[in-house]
Structure 1
Amino acid sequence: MTKRFAFSAVLPFLLLSQACTPEPQPPAPAVAPKLILHHARVFTATGGADAEAVAVGADGKYAAVGTNAEVLALAGPDTQVVDMSATCPTPGVACKVLLPTWDDAHTHMVGFNPSDGILNDPAAFLPGDGPTLEQVQALFRQALAAQKPDGSGPLLPKGSRLVAYVGTSFLTDAAATRDALDSVCGEDYLCLARGWSGHGTVAASPTLTHCGLSDTQPDIPGGYYERDASGRITGKLHEAAEIRFLRCWIGEASDEQLAGLMKAYATTAVKYGVGRVQDMSLGMEHARAVRVTQLAQLPLRARVMCLPGSEGEACTPFDSPTVQASGTKRFADGTPFERAGCTSRPYQDAPWTSGHCNWTDAELESFFRQQLAQPAGPESQVLVHAMGDKALTQVLDAMEATGGAAAWKGRRLRVEHGTMLYSANDVARASALGVYVSQQGNHLAFVDPVDGVPSYAKRFEGDIFVQMDPIRSLATAGLHLNFGTDGVGFPISSYLDLALTTTHPMRPGEALPMREALVAYTRGSAESAFDEDKRGSIQVGLDADFQVPTVDVLQEGLPFTAVASAMAHATFIAGKPVWDDGSLTPEGGWRQ
């Protein structure tokens, strides 16, 4: 029975109290702020009403957030005061929006070795089937046949590294093995076929030898080497086994080269309004990834998450104002694209397989217990790549077997992707266990560019496909959402992801309202890293990391293309501009 009568009886008194008592404001800063931006629409990501102005202190944190009058009253003689409506159609009427910077919760800044001879562009076919084995062999054959301009011999010297990007056609072809690459590349070249999704690699024999992998290389937890009937590895590497290989393949680059790749990635990312990347290095041991990230002197913040290539690798935490290191990621399965996502039912287009779970129950529970033995916090946080429904069920089973909600509720275990987290039972269990789900907007639009058929509709029967990639229903069930772009080597626009998250082309009913999506991309991602008390929203005392988008994303009825093509006019980290397209630059420039 509701308490409607009792509430209605006291409502007039509540309204009177609110009318007579102004909302408490934080105390005015003792020292005048260094920067004030006013006459803007300030989306704070706190769940409260939008503000009109912000003030930034000399410490790079928000000194005030409120109305124009409240914030402008704090200005001192040395405060830079910027009217954000100066370039609006009607000066004095806000038309510019301030948002927290994106906290991109899932990235891979380094995706290749700068010495790689890349033979094709995966953008030409992803997320489609990609080139066949014969077409890949033709790519290698053509590259090796190229001659020097003077005709004095092969253009490529022996030992050259050649990479072809592939998709499902190649990775699921039983004949696409090291032997098939050897037949074209021979013994003198290092040939490699890499899955466009970052999952699945096929290496030629000289390439395997170059990276120290024997014919009978033992599997490692969280990954595996495909083998023929004799036990010899076929050259196909999956998950942790692939990560271990990439430590050699990518890791042969110098620190300076890898730092350069990171810097290039971040320099573009800030133009999309990104203030932090939560990065998972594909080609470096954890300690080196932390060192190289510092060396890169990125224009944004970075969280380096450990991606172990062996059981003995140390995931040592690190903390500085711009670079953090915390959390450990493991792979419960692969992806549905190469049919390695671990599912409870066979794949529709390959009924002989249900994918592959990378861990036994005992192995996964052992890893969880190791993490639970450490104090709760970002350092011991677990991140699990799990896309198939069987892999997701296994993760939840392991959580319950190692203490359940009492042990896990505050540890913020992150499921990366959660593509098939749709069963009512598993969703309820995930909510009770305090699971955080990291989703990627660009994963919601996987359509084969050749035939226009959704990629997952090929893999799964209709009753499964219509439940995939839930978002809104997970939020309704109480799960914590955060978002990342999953960019590999090159950044993906967070605005494109935002447009897809708020429309969900495959399942419009699962789209998030704009404001909820904005929170998930900012405060939600910060919370997923235990950082909500430092950044992710616009509040007094938090890091002044904010952006000014080229489009008012808070405007009702904004077309998809307007959001998807948006960028940032300016991006600020700790109150200082790290990107500025010049359209908002005050006379005399921004004061540092």
Structure 2
Amino acid sequence: MASQVFTDAKVFTGRGEDDFVTAFRVTDGVVDWLGDASEVDTADAHRLGGRTVVPGLLDMHVHPALMTTTIDAVDCLPPAVTSLPQLIEALRTHAAVGAGPDAWIVGNGYDETKYPEGRAPTARDLDEVSTTQPVIVWRCDRHSAACNSRALEIAGLTADTPDPAGGRFERDADGRPDGVLTEISATQAVASHIPDAAPEERVAQLRQVGERLLSRGIVGVCDLLATRIPEPLDAYRAAEDGAPMPRASLFYGWDPADPPADLTDDDRTGRSRAAGLKVIMDGAYSNRTAWVCHPYPGSDDDHGLRTLSDEDALSAGAWARRNGVQLAVHAMGDRAIRQVIELFADQEPWLHGTPSIRIEHATLLSAETIERLRTARMAFGIATHTVFLYAEYDGYERNLRPELRDQAYPIRSLYEELPALALSSDCPATAWGEADNVFVSVEAAVRRRAYNGADIGQGAAVSVAQAMLLYTDRAAALTDVGRLGRIDVGCEGSFAVLDQDVFTVPSERIGETGVLETWIAGERVWTRRAPASP
């Protein structure tokens, strides 16, 4: 049997908040011993020089398939782009500029809440990039976008075009679409005209995304809308056949008019597998489209957008039950979360060992709502964030009612009450270029400070160890990702070696933590390259 001992390390096992060892052994890809470095007498042991080691990290709500579509997009995320003129200049650097009338110019990540202009880009603004080529730039939440006049023309959107269900084409004073596309149904009316990459190109792009995730120490992911690319399971399996890739649990999108085909046993097994169905109950909080109980500040009747009917939600749940997979419900606003509970709380769970229903994002959670989730007949889990409040503070500060701020991402209460809980990145649908850096989220969970130092709920702070568990062992309770999440006997020998001790560095430096090596099943799959000599 192939066996390797790792020693001279500070090893966070993931078995508990204070559980550390200094040596472990991996045999045939599986951990079969943990102990103290003093017990190691093997001459060829892999000595880690006192480095901190953590279980391979799990990002339980991320969008690798979607990331493939942004590989060639211009990065328009803060802090690099914080005004409309900067956005226009950034888009002018796209490689497709001047490539012909059918070449799309694509940007990713604008956040108008950080712009001095205080508004989203319109078609008039984006026409400054090009009037002959289509231009589209995604908002940081990936729920909305903006496009130029040429893109509106290609999509056939005019003053007579009705708004799509669950979305809006924002309009100028004459009633014509002004290029701002609010919510997914509106964005897809334009984005569906962007040509798909060829299958072999998509596989290559997935491998690029996989390498990026491995460089972050991420060895397991849940892709929460894998059907953003055609035949996602085939693409993932082709990608892993030729390169190291994180283990992937795929969640398919739901179209009630065209539901996915029923799954086979083969679909549900393997390192890349179909794991669930995703539906979207509302929009995004920073964009005032999350469905909320109380109207947004400054309004008497703006409660955001509900984007899913009860009938469609229940139909999706029935499909997930029949196919033995999870139902993941995007629900940010408190009204959306309550609706999920009303629809499913009294149903019998259909899965054992993991929640049958995941609630994604879960921005506003009162103590009463958390208790309802904990005591429901249905087994619920939550994938939530701290990077949203960290990166999108300006939008949340504007949109959160003061009396509700203590209910925004209450990580400490969730940690104490719900075992199936994960912190996650939602990358690339997050307003920060480093959103998939786990340690940015960990720092935000520990300090509860925004990018600008603003208080984002000190009472909801957790310890470093608790935040790390929400990316390892506790995260593994949310969705079956194989024997990941711990460095423990019987678990896959997958782990990350860090460049600093995340457990002892000053809290304001946690986000600077990087990964030196990533190992999967006892094999080193990524190593940080030394900087080139001057």
TM-score by length of 2: 0.81
Distance 1:238 1:368, change over 3 A: farther
Distance 1:277 1:406, change over 3 A: closer
User: Which residue of the other structure, out of 490, 500, 523, is the alignment partner of 1:551?
Assistant: 500
Structural mapping, 1:82-231, within 5 Å: 82-84=46-48, 87=49, 95-109=50-64, 110-111=66-67, 113=69, 118=74, 121-124=76-79, 131=84, 139=88, 155=98, 157-163=100-106, 166-168=110-112, 180=124, 188-204=132-148, 206-207=150-151, 210=154, 216=161, 219=164, 223-226=166-169
Q: Secondary structure at the match of 1:553?
A: coil
Q: Deviations for 1:316-340, whole angstroms, at most 9, x for unmatched residues?
A: 4635654223211111111122110
Report the Cα distance in structure 1 between the residues aligned to 2:392 and 2:134, rounded to whole angstroms: 32
Question: Post-superposition shift, 1:482?
Answer: 0.7
Contact 1:414 1:435 in 2 (8 A): yes
Question: Post-superposition shift, 1:467?
Answer: 2.5
Q: Secondary structure at the match of 1:51?
A: strand
Question: Post-superposition shift, 1:521?
Answer: 0.4
Question: Post-superposition shift, 1:466?
Answer: 3.2
Report the Cα distance in structure 2 between the residues aligned to 1:141 and 1:498, rounded to whole angstroms: 30
The answer to whether residue 406 in structure 2 is matched with residue 466 in structure 1 is yes
**After alignment, is 42-51 or 229-238 more displaced?**
229-238
AA aligned to 1:509 is G
Distance 1:67 1:480, change over 3 A: same
The answer to whether residue 474 in structure 2 is matched with residue 524 in structure 1 is yes
AA aligned to 1:549 is L
Distance 1:359 1:231, change over 3 A: farther
AA aligned to 1:566 is T
Contact 2:358 2:383 in 1 (8 A): yes
Which residue of structure 2 lines up, in the alignment, with residue 338 of structure 1? 287
Contact 2:151 2:190 in 1 (8 A): no
User: Which residue of the other structure, out of 6, 21, 24, is the alignment partner of 1:54?
Assistant: 24
User: Which residue of the other structure, out of 261, 264, 269, is the alignment partner of 2:213?
Assistant: 269
The answer to whether residue 418 in structure 2 is matched with residue 418 in structure 1 is no
Contact 1:211 1:249 in 2 (8 A): yes
Contact 1:386 1:418 in 2 (8 A): yes
AA aligned to 2:471 is Y
Which residue of structure 1 lines up, in the alignment, with residue 422 of structure 2? 482
Contact 1:116 1:161 in 2 (8 A): no
Distance 1:99 1:142, change over 3 A: closer
Contact 2:333 2:363 in 1 (8 A): yes
Whichever of the two has the greater Rg, that structure is 1
User: Which residue of the other structure, out of 492, 497, 507, is the alignment partner of 2:457?
Assistant: 507
Contact 1:274 1:300 in 2 (8 A): no
Contact 2:217 2:496 in 1 (8 A): yes
Q: Deviations for 1:25-49, whole angstroms, at most 9, x for unmatched residues?
A: xxxxxx5x52001232221111273
User: Which residue of the other structure, out of 519, 524, 528, is the alignment partner of 1:577?
Assistant: 524
Report the Cα distance in structure 1 between the residues aligned to 2:466 and 2:380, rounded to whole angstroms: 18
The answer to whether residue 432 in structure 2 is matched with residue 432 in structure 1 is no
Which residue of structure 1 lines up, in the alignment, with residue 11 of structure 2? 42
Question: Post-superposition shift, 1:299?
Answer: 2.7
AA aligned to 1:502 is V
Report the Cα distance in structure 1 between the residues aligned to 2:91 and 2:367, rounded to whole angstroms: 52
Report the Cα distance in structure 2 between the residues aligned to 1:320 and 1:408, rounded to whole angstroms: 15
Distance 1:117 1:374, change over 3 A: closer
Contact 2:389 2:396 in 1 (8 A): no
Report the Cα distance in structure 2 between the residues aligned to 1:309 and 1:242, rounded to whole angstroms: 16
AA aligned to 1:456 is Y
Report the Cα distance in structure 2 between the residues aligned to 1:307 and 1:233, rounded to whole angstroms: 30
Which residue of structure 1 lines up, in the alignment, with residue 260 of structure 2? 314
Count of aligned pairs between the two proteins: 503
Q: Secondary structure at the match of 2:228?
A: coil
Q: Secondary structure at the match of 1:430?
A: helix
Report the Cα distance in structure 1 between the residues aligned to 2:318 and 2:268, rounded to whole angstroms: 25
Which residue of structure 2 lines up, in the alignment, with residue 301 of structure 1? 246
Report the Cα distance in structure 2 between the residues aligned to 1:141 and 1:81, rounded to whole angstroms: 49
User: Which residue of the other structure, out of 36, 41, 54, is the alignment partner of 1:67?
Assistant: 36
Contact 1:113 1:250 in 2 (8 A): no
Distance 1:272 1:233, change over 3 A: same
User: Which residue of the other structure, out of 362, 367, 375, is the alignment partner of 2:316?
Assistant: 367
Report the Cα distance in structure 2 between the residues aligned to 1:296 and 1:209, rounded to whole angstroms: 36
Q: Secondary structure at the match of 1:52?
A: strand
Question: Post-superposition shift, 1:385?
Answer: 1.3
Question: Unaligned 5+ residue runs, structure 1?
Answer: 1-30, 88-94, 147-153, 449-453, 584-592
Which residue of structure 2 lines up, in the alignment, with residue 398 of structure 1? 343
AA aligned to 1:50 is F
Q: Secondary structure at the match of 1:122?
A: coil
Which residue of structure 1 lines up, in the alignment, with residue 453 of structure 2? none
Distance 1:319 1:567, change over 3 A: farther
CA RMSD of aligned residues (A): 3.9
The answer to whether residue 487 in structure 2 is matched with residue 538 in structure 1 is yes
Distance 1:324 1:247, change over 3 A: farther
Contact 2:55 2:487 in 1 (8 A): yes
Report the Cα distance in structure 2 between the residues aligned to 1:101 and 1:280, rounded to whole angstroms: 20
Contact 1:446 1:456 in 2 (8 A): no
Contact 1:34 1:80 in 2 (8 A): no
Report the Cα distance in structure 1 between the residues aligned to 2:90 and 2:212, rounded to whole angstroms: 35
Question: Post-superposition shift, 1:245?
Answer: 4.7
Contact 1:329 1:384 in 2 (8 A): yes
Contact 1:456 1:465 in 2 (8 A): no
Q: Secondary structure at the match of 2:285?
A: coil
Report the Cα distance in structure 1 between the residues aligned to 2:395 and 2:61, rounded to whole angstroms: 22
Report the Cα distance in structure 2 between the residues aligned to 1:268 and 1:142, rounded to whole angstroms: 23
AA aligned to 1:97 is T
Report the Cα distance in structure 1 between the residues aligned to 2:494 and 2:254, rounded to whole angstroms: 33
Q: Deviations for 1:42-89, whole angstroms, at most 9, x for unmatched residues?
A: 21111273223111112x11122223465x47x6xxx941233xx4xx
Report the Cα distance in structure 2 between the residues aligned to 1:266 and 1:187, rounded to whole angstroms: 35
Distance 1:183 1:562, change over 3 A: closer
Contact 2:112 2:120 in 1 (8 A): no
Question: Post-superposition shift, 1:483?
Answer: 1.8
Report the Cα distance in structure 1 between the residues aligned to 2:493 and 2:194, rounded to whole angstroms: 35
